[in-house]
Amino acid sequence: MLELNDHAPAYVEIGLLASSIECASLSALATDTLTDGIEDARTRFEEIAEIANRYPRATNFVASLQRAAFALADWHERLDEPGEALDVLVYAEEIVAPRIEAGGNWNAVGITLGVIRTRVARDQIASDPAPYRSLMEASEEAVSDSDAVAEGMALLAREALSRGELVDAVRLCERALTRLDEATNGCAELIHHSRAQVEAALVQALIDERLAGDADGPRRDALFARSLEWTRKAAEWHARGTGDALHALAMEERRQTIEQLIERREAIVAGND
């Protein structure tokens, strides 16, 4: 008979609570009253945190904890409560981060921490990118998840581009694409890998458009064509990464945005814009 360690009950209980939060979030999407159920979901997340804190060295439930945090944060964001969403994400990070040194399944902890930190960065990067640049650069060395680091770099590249810092954006995007190239082929179907690919492709398309604005003749045409190519790649990667119903619904707005970008860039390449 398999001998279970004393962390196993926590793993099972947190997994069940995480699934209940995800199901409640999905159910809320199908109703007109998004507020129904969120108080119960918050209570369940607090129960997860309480259980996790009772096992400060356990690492076997960090992925379930992350899923619960993301589902609850998404729910808050749909209610236009970004502060509450960020609180959930930061709390999840605080629970997971110390476990990097706790032994056990280090790789799982590293991946989860990288994904959570990237999500925190995504929610805060526009207002103050500097701390999150440091966070992503620290994660590049300390966290084994190339996808999470790549997505963080792509987000920082987008922000640099919005400030007109083209050279910095190019370098950050190159680093993001390099990290994605380092990822194994075996993870190519995972949702977070596809999401990182989408972010890198979309920001590279923006960079090419910005470069095309300063070019002319064949060089300009080639850059616009490459921008369209990157956007089509983003659409392909996005379709591969929608995953289950919860992720598909959460990513629907991005899918529509990408389709609109393709239409606009097709018109530019065709000379109709």
State the Rg of the chain over Cα: 20
Instruction: Output the CA torsion 185→186→189→195 (10° steps).
Output: -60
Q: What is the CB neighbour count within 10 angstroms for residue 217?
A: 7
Note down pLDDT in tens along the chain; length 273 residues.
233 455 667 778 888 888 888 888 877 776 667 788 899 999 999 999 999 888 887 777 888 888 888 888 888 877 878 778 878 888 888 888 777 665 544 455 655 666 666 666 666 665 667 766 766 666 555 555 677 677 778 888 888 888 889 999 999 999 888 888 876 544 444 666 777 888 899 999 999 999 998 898 999 999 999 999 999 999 988 887 665 555 555 567 778 888 988 999 999 998 866
Supply the pLDDT for residue 99.
77
Q: What is the pTM of this model?
A: 0.61
- In the chain, helix, strand, coil percent, each to 5? 80, 0, 20
